Amino acid sequence: MLLALVLLLFTACTESAPQSTLEPEGPVARQQDDLFRPVFWIATAVFVFVEGLILLIVVKFRHREGRDAIPTQVHGNKRLELLWTIIPTVILAGIAVPTIGAIFNLSREPDPATRLDVTIIAHQWWWEVEYPEERVITANEIHIPTGRPVYFRLESRNQGAEIPVIHSFWVPKLGGKQDVVPGRIVHLTYEAEQPGTYLGQCAEFCGISHAYMRLRMIAHTPEDFEAWLENEGSRAATPDSGLAQRGFELFQSFPGGSCMACHAINGLDGAAARIGPDLTHFGSRETFAGAIADLTPEELRRWLDDPASVKPGAKMPDYGLSDEEIEALVAYLLSLE
Amino acid sequence: MATEVLPQRRGWTLHRPTATTGVWSWITTVDHKRIGILYGVTAFVMFLAGGVEALLLRVQLATPENNFISAETYNQLFTMHGTTMIFLVIMPLSAAFFNYFLPLQIGARDVAFPRLNAFSYWVFLAGGIFMYTSFFLGGAPNGGWFGYAPLNTEGGVLDVVRTHNMDFWVLGLIILGIASTVSAVNLLVTIINMRAPGMTFMRMPVFTWMTFVVQFLLVFALPIITVALFELLFDRLFGTNFFNVLNGGDPVLWQHLFWLFGHPEVYILILPAMGIVSEILPVFSRKPLFGYAVVVFSGIAIGFMGWGVWAHHMFAVGLGPVANSAFALSTMFIAVPTGVKIFNWLATMWGGDLRFKTPMLFAIGFVAMFTIGGLSGVTHAIVPHDTQQTDTYYIVAHFHYVLFGGAIFGLFGGAYFWWPKITGKLLNERIGKANFWLMFLGFNLTFAPFHILGLEGMARRTHTYPEGMGWDFWNMVSTVGAFLIAVSVAVFMWNVMRTRTKGEVAGDDPWDGRSLEWSISSPPPAHNFDEIPEVHEVDDFWHKKYAEDEHGRLAPAVAGGAGYGPSEAHAGGHGDGEHGGHEAIHMPSPSYYPAFTAIGFPLLAWGLIFSPALIVIGAAILLGGLYGWALEPSAE
Amino acid sequence: MSVQAAAHAEHPATNTGMSNVKVGMWGFLASECLLFGALISTYLLYRGRVGQAGGPIPHDVYDIPFTSVSSFVLLMSSLTMVLALAAIQRGDERRLRVWLVATALLGMVFISGQVYEFSTFVEEGLTLKTNVASTAFFVLTGFHGAHVSIGILMLLSLWGISHQGKLPPSRSEAVELVGLYWHFVDIVWIVIFTLVYLVPAPAGAGGG
Ligand code: HEA
Ligand code: HEA
Ligand code: CUA
Ligand SMILES: [Cu+2]
């Protein structure tokens, strides 16, 4: 029965599994997968051997009616015991060699000349994404070019009153995870072969909304990526009429506060805080709030109305905005393409 | 106190409890068998609690984006589930068997320090109750069973309000650690010092051996987590900086300390079950354990090697390729001694005359299921791919296979095996078989899908998951399986209830056993052995019953038959009270102090959270109890 | 706990020939080794680290001559402990009490020294919360101080019991056990004094 499950595991790959570790889409993930598969089959072989032996013994040596003779009393056999000490040792040594090779191989830093550097800052419960050379800041949706190693610099640091905690950065189809421990700066390399959207999420328990700390890696062809960067690097448009204009004003100051206390918008004077996500090109995102909500007017309304109802514990307060105010803010935010 | 008859000094001690039945007799008992039963019952109740928590988790996860319980409740439940199962179920359930059977297997009348033994139990109970009161005092612990800093230092979880959830966890574990350390020292001394004449180390039953190894692990591992817990506690209560990054602290220290305890801990959880299985398989195969010495030494080897693998829980932290390689190697090679055990067990059965009584089914189930968990463990050692596996349900699958398929199966096997010895009545075989098969099926339905879910990218400790990830089906299967397990546990309870009234009387030696506990009556008399047996070889009792020629053929022993010493003539009877001779055996008297003193701990702990007044009361009880105890003679 | 355990030592034939309480004490002390091992490791990891908090590290404020003297005092208390045990084994209960009190007094001198040391450190700006190096220092030495204090309590308890005439030479093992504990705590201090006070903090310490 378990064997059937094991086989099912591999056939199950055909089903849509956007976060599967079994379908690598980049060289890092592939190298990890290539290491896992043979070990998996070796383990399966040991499994079949041991369980087969159990079944054999259970059938062959079961008590039979009428046989009351007491079996021969065997106390041990040094040769056999040596044998089943040595064989597993040899098998494991065989596994160990490529494992250690791969550990060192994967720990190498990609060539600074060709790689793209991206800085990720993990927050409770969202990811801040920074392209240091291009001076672009965004959140949760990480755009990368295909065919080029991306070298992530990961940290979890305090911003505002927040106490940083451990998170773990992970996009299964591109590679394994890297814990982001406060007080340490760590690095991770991913590379995507094909354009597409790869799902990921925070993998280290980081508090109440850990499940809602998701992310997306969006790989473009190098040309598309340049275009995206270009747009992202530009200043945000300032609406000059209508509802969006009203939202623009509210964003700067609404009764009881200002969104600028936490959110930056490149092109809006005074909006430089980095407590919440940078919203310069918010309107061009697919999702928001830790990539858990689709960027639609309804979802955005829900968010502005009461962030904690969308994401428990959300660090953005509920300002008791009126429907009219929310409507205006939504219009403004969506205009930030 | 072994064979010595203590002088009777009645009359001048004032407060020695006298109840021999009823609640007070249990509260004041110092009899290792009764304490064993207390441990067992308590741990089983906790198993139900941890199981109900698990069922709630499973209901929540049955369907995507489910709202059955909130994120906060979910976090509390999985933390309490993990903490309960490890610290309040498997450890005390193992302790139940240690307490009951260790003295019997080595031919002792009690453990080295009977009152200290009672104290360990009461402190354990106090710690468990303390932790569970959190549900009513502001919320249960919610930071995961390994309580990573800095999430769990002050402010981490919800930095707006200071919550007490994890205070309960930290303080509770410190209390439980005290209980386990005291008990470990006690049992170590018992094994080192109180073996019957002729019971050399290499004649001890394997269960006793594994108990011995586990006590060493406990003695050395618990102080490490105690230090870690104090550091966390001080950070939380007094604003120290151990894990405060701003002031130079390093959260990775917590991980090193926790796992330096944590990995030996997992062998603390499995070795007792391995010992039990090593007792059951020979009995129901009617063959001696294959390679006794090798099984013992591989147990010791596991105990040693278990100290050198802890960082395999930290492969994603980024410790560097050298450290990762070293820990990958040590982790892989720990599979070797474990494999030796597995093959020795198989060789024990090979050529045997297998009788599939319920204990045997659980023991074989253990071998089969533990192997699966062990093999997935080896795949975790492939560091580059472990970064894919870690913190997914693939890991959750691994540890439920070793913890449930391993430890719980082994312990259930032990319960069926030794039930007749403890109660004098056999658990029903047919219900027992139903129990096993339901549990076996439910277990695999619940946890096998976790392998798939994990590899398909489902992260653990997430209170919900989106649709369209390919996880829906297997989550539902797992939830169904979990309820099947619940049914099997209910079947077990039914079996127990039924046996109380309708159970078949067991006799002293229902399974044709091999070790000393089967040589005495069921249930054993308070003083265990009328005459301390003299031991001549491994499986001494078996060899009293059967002689073996040089070709390994057996025949019933010519003369004497089963039994030791003068009680021989009575073997088979229920030896309470009728025998001459044992009247003079003076057992340690019951005492109020262990239970009384233990109350001090939770009071201190509540005090640290809520009110200094309680600290004073708790400390007074603790000190007063200890002094009263010190001045109380150990036997009156 | 050892006191009352010791107080009721029975002497049945044990497998090792050593009494249960004594084997138990060794087991307990083995466990304690790991306790201090973990605390000392924590300190060694943190001794030069102050993070953004800055502030002095323990090495900046040590008064080595002073601590050397108090270490010497503690060392001497091991000697008096040995004498106490020798006294009861000779059957000299009066001397036993003298040496017990002497040991306890030396222990108290050590503890007073520690209290004094802590208070000067606090004056110089090194508190429990200053930075992680100070936290690790105070918690390690504080745990040790607590152990010494418990030892003093046990010594005084023995003295009290002996005073009531309930500590005859036949129960000299109680003194032996407390002695074991006391020597252990003493040795731990030698290790702490060497590793924590004498070995210099890593280069760059103090600044951050
Ligand atoms: C009973 C408890 C128990 C036991 C016995 C084990 C046994 C093992 N464990 Fe497990 N482990 C846990 C309980 C246990 N574990 C828990 C609770 C966690 C998770 C903690 C958490 O994160 O919450 C965990 C996590 C865990 C991890 C961390 C994973 C991660 O978080 O990324 C790793 C990594 O290497 C690991 C490895 C192993 C190995 C190699 C063994 C080995 O000892 C297994 C050896 C056995 C066999 C291999 C099978 C029999 C052998 C043969 C038949 C011989 C032939 C075999 C070969 C040639 C391969 N375990
Ligand atoms: C011995 C250890 C042990 C055992 C036996 C179990 C048993 C079970 N566990 Fe276990 N589990 C852990 C140890 C264990 N677990 C640990 C250490 C963790 C990690 C925690 C963490 O991440 O911090 C974990 C985490 C964990 C998770 C992951 C949570 C997450 O990461 O989000 C899940 C999810 O399904 C789960 C499910 C189950 C189930 C369904 C059972 C079932 O097998 C339970 C079966 C038992 C019962 C069903 C009880 C029977 C009840 C009745 C019969 C009802 C009768 C009631 C009354 C009379 C009152 N467990
Ligand atoms: Cu961030 Cu989990
Ligand atoms: Cu481990």
| Distance between Cα B263 and ligand 4 center (Å) | 4
Q: Minimum mean pLDDT among A13-17, A157-161, C28-32, C179-183: which range?
A: A13-17
Closest residue by Cα to atom 56, ligand 2, is B48
- Return d(Cα B232, Cα B147) in angstroms, integer: 9
Q: What kind and span of H or E run contains A188?
A: strand A186-190
Beta carbons of B340 and A81 less than 8 Å apart: yes
Instruction: Report CA torsion sign: A188, A194, A197, A201.
Output: negative
How far lies A153's CA from each of A125, A186, B360, in Å?
A: 18, 6, 54
Task: Identify the CA nearest to A176 among candidates B148, B255, B391.
Answer: B391
Q: Which atom of ligand 3 is nearest to the CA of A210?
A: 2
Query: In this predicted model, which residue has the larger pLDDT, C114 or B634?
Result: C114
Buried b / exposed e over C124-145, threshold 16 CB at 10 Å, is eebbbbbbbbbbbbbbbbebbb
Which residue in the set C5, C31, C131 is minimally distant from B248, CB to CB? C131
Helix axes B206-238, B91-106, angle to 10 degrees: 140
Beta carbons of C31 and B224 less than 8 Å apart: no
- Return d(Cα B570, Cα B573) in angstroms, integer: 6
CA-based radius of gyration for chain B: 25
β-strands A214-220, A141-145: how paired? parallel
- Return d(Cα A282, Cα A291) in angstroms, integer: 12
Comparing alpha-carbon positions, the chain A residue that sits nearest to B466 is A292
Buried b / exposed e over B263-274, threshold 16 CB at 10 Å, is bbbbbbbbbbbb
pLDDT in tens, B233-273: 999 888 899 998 888 999 999 999 999 999 999 999 999 99
Q: Ligand 2 in contact with B518 (CB < 6 A)?
A: no
Closest residue by Cα to atom 50, ligand 2, is B486
CB contacts of B70 in chain A (<8 Å) are 312
- On the 0-12 / 13-18 / 19+ scale of CB atoms within 10 A, B162 is exposed
- Return d(Cα A192, Cα A28) in angstroms, integer: 9
Taking 90 as the threshold, does the pLDDT of residue B360 lie above it?
A: yes
Residue with token string 């997935």: B376
Which residue in the set B75, B385, B390 is minimally distant from A35, CB to CB? B385
Task: Identify the CA nearest to A120 among candidates A161, A146, A156, A166.
Answer: A156
Q: Ligand 1 in contact with B377 (CB < 6 A)?
A: yes
Q: Minimum mean pLDDT among A74-78, B322-326, C191-195: which range?
A: A74-78
Beta carbons of C132 and B242 less than 8 Å apart: yes
| The pLDDT of residue A8 | 55
Q: What kind and span of H or E run contains A186?
A: strand A186-190
Beta carbons of B72 and A312 less than 8 Å apart: yes
Taking 80 as the threshold, does the pLDDT of residue B621 lie above it?
A: yes
Taking 60 as the threshold, does the pLDDT of residue A67 lie above it?
A: yes
Percent of chain B with pLDDT over 70: 91
| The pLDDT of residue A255 | 85
Q: How many helices (H) and strands (E) would you count in chain A?
A: 8, 12
Instruction: Report CA torsion sign: B477, B482, B485, B487.
Output: negative
On the CB side of C72, how many CA atoms lie within 13 Å of its CA?
A: 6
| The pLDDT of residue A68 | 65
Q: What kind and span of H or E run contains B418?
A: helix B409-423
Q: What kind and span of H or E run contains B605?
A: helix B593-609
Confidence band of B10 (pLDDT split at 50, 70, 90): very low
Binding-face residues of B in 443-462 toward A, CB within 8 A: 444, 448-449, 451-452, 455-462
Q: Ligand 1 in contact with B309 (CB < 6 A)?
A: no
3-state secondary structure A241-288: CHHHHHHHHHHHCECCECHHHCCECCCCCCCECCCCCCCCCHHHCCEE
Angle (CA) A131 A132 A133, round 5°: 100
| The pLDDT of residue B4 | 38
Closest residue by Cα to atom 41, ligand 2, is B54
C139–chain B nearest CA distance, Å: 8
Percent of chain B with pLDDT over 90: 79
CA A89 to chain CA mean position, Å: 36
- Return d(Cα B321, Cα C156) in angstroms, integer: 54
CB contacts of B384 in chain A (<8 Å) are 31-32, 35, 99, 102-103, 106, 176
| The pLDDT of residue A2 | 55
Residue with token string 């219009």: A331
Residue with token string 């406990």: B218
Residue with token string 């904690």: A308
Closest residue by Cα to atom 13, ligand 2, is B82
On the CB side of B336, how many CA atoms lie within 13 Å of its CA?
A: 22
Q: Are B219 and B211 in contact (CB under 8 A)?
A: no
Q: Ligand 1 in contact with B342 (CB < 6 A)?
A: yes
pLDDT in tens, B39-72: 999 999 999 999 999 999 999 999 999 999 999 9
Which residue in the set B353, B371, B463 is minimally distant from A63, CB to CB? B353
Could you tell me how many CB contacts below 8 A there are between chain B and chain C?
Answer: 150
Q: Confirm or reject contact between C133 and chain B (CB < 8 A).
A: yes
Beta carbons of A9 and B452 less than 8 Å apart: yes
C163 contacts: CB under 8 Å, gap ≥ 6: C97
Which residue in the set B367, B383, B444 is minimally distant from A1, CB to CB? B444
Q: Which atom of ligand 3 is nearest to the CA of A213?
A: 1
Strand ranges for B258-305 from DSSP E: none
- Return d(Cα B503, Cα C152) in angstroms, integer: 57
In a mutational test of the A interface, the residue from B83, B203, B354 whose CB has the highest number of chain A CBs within 10 Å is B354
CA A236 to chain CA mean position, Å: 28
Closest residue by Cα to atom 18, ligand 1, is B399
Task: Identify the CA nearest to B231 among candidates C139, C196, C143.
Answer: C139
- Return d(Cα B377, Cα A39) in angstroms, integer: 11
Query: In this predicted model, which residue has the larger pLDDT, B14 or C178?
Result: C178
B386: left (phi over 0), alpha (psi -120 to 50) or beta: alpha
Average pLDDT, chain A: 91
A225–chain B nearest CA distance, Å: 27
On the CB side of A105, how many CA atoms lie within 13 Å of its CA?
A: 14
In a mutational test of the A interface, the residue from B462, B464, B477 whose CB has the highest number of chain A CBs within 10 Å is B462
Task: Quote the longest CA-to-CA distance of chain B.
Answer: 79
Q: Which residues share a beta bridge with A118?
A: A152
Average pLDDT, chain B: 90
pLDDT in tens, B158-207: 344 578 899 999 999 999 999 999 999 999 999 999 999 999 999 999 99
Chains in contact with C, where contact requires at least 3 CB pairs less than 8 Å apart: B
pLDDT in tens, B272-294: 999 999 999 999 999 999 999 99
3-state secondary structure B292-316: HHHHHHHHHHHHHHHHHCHHHHCCC
| The pLDDT of residue A69 | 67
Confidence band of B3 (pLDDT split at 50, 70, 90): very low
Query: What are the φ and ψ backbone dihedral angles of B392, each rounded to 5 degrees?
Result: -115, 175
Taking 70 as the threshold, does the pLDDT of residue C140 lie above it?
A: yes
pLDDT in tens, B78-126: 999 999 999 999 999 999 999 999 999 999 999 999 999 999 999 999 9
3-state secondary structure B161-197: CCCCHHHHHHHHHHHHHHHHHHHHHHHHHHHHHCCCC
Instruction: Report CA torsion sign: C199, C204, C207, C208.
Output: negative
- List the structure tokens of A156: 């979890």
- Return d(Cα C192, Cα C143) in angstroms, integer: 11
Taking 70 as the threshold, does the pLDDT of residue B141 lie above it?
A: yes
β-strands A186-190, A150-155: how paired? antiparallel
Confidence band of A241 (pLDDT split at 50, 70, 90): confident
Q: Which residues share a beta bridge with B547?
A: B555
0.90 surpassed by complex ipTM: yes
C128 contacts: CB under 8 Å, gap ≥ 6: B238, B240, C134, C135, C138, C139
Confidence band of B18 (pLDDT split at 50, 70, 90): confident
A278–chain B nearest CA distance, Å: 23
pLDDT in tens, C51-106: 888 889 999 999 999 999 999 999 999 999 999 999 999 999 999 999 999 999 99
- Return d(Cα B415, Cα B436) in angstroms, integer: 12
Instruction: Report CA torsion sign: B534, B582, B524, B212.
Output: negative
- List the structure tokens of C14: 């044990």
pLDDT in tens, B512-569: 999 999 999 999 999 999 888 999 988 889 888 888 777 777 777 655 445 565 444 3
How far lies C207's CA from each of C41, C54, C130, C131, in Å?
A: 21, 7, 14, 12
- List the structure tokens of B229: 């817990």
- Return d(Cα A243, Cα A257) in angstroms, integer: 20
| Selection from A159-173, B192-206, B584-598 with the highest mean pLDDT | B192-206
CA A181 to chain CA mean position, Å: 15
Beta carbons of B548 and A73 less than 8 Å apart: yes
Q: Confirm or reject contact between C23 and chain B (CB < 8 A).
A: yes
- Return d(Cα B115, Cα B135) in angstroms, integer: 31
β-strands A167-171, A196-201: how paired? unpaired
- List the structure tokens of B78: 């999985």
| Distance between Cα B50 and ligand 2 center (Å) | 6
- Return d(Cα B233, Cα B135) in angstroms, integer: 20
Beta carbons of B629 and C20 less than 8 Å apart: no
Q: Confirm or reject contact between B628 and chain A (CB < 8 A).
A: no
Which residue in the set B6, B231, B630 is minimally distant from C4, CB to CB? B630
pLDDT in tens, B223-241: 999 999 999 999 988 889 9
β-strands A116-123, A150-155: how paired? parallel
Q: How many helices (H) and strands (E) would you count in chain C?
A: 7, 0
Which residue in the set B286, B347, B461 is minimally distant from A80, CB to CB? B347
Q: Which residues share a beta bridge with A190?
A: A150
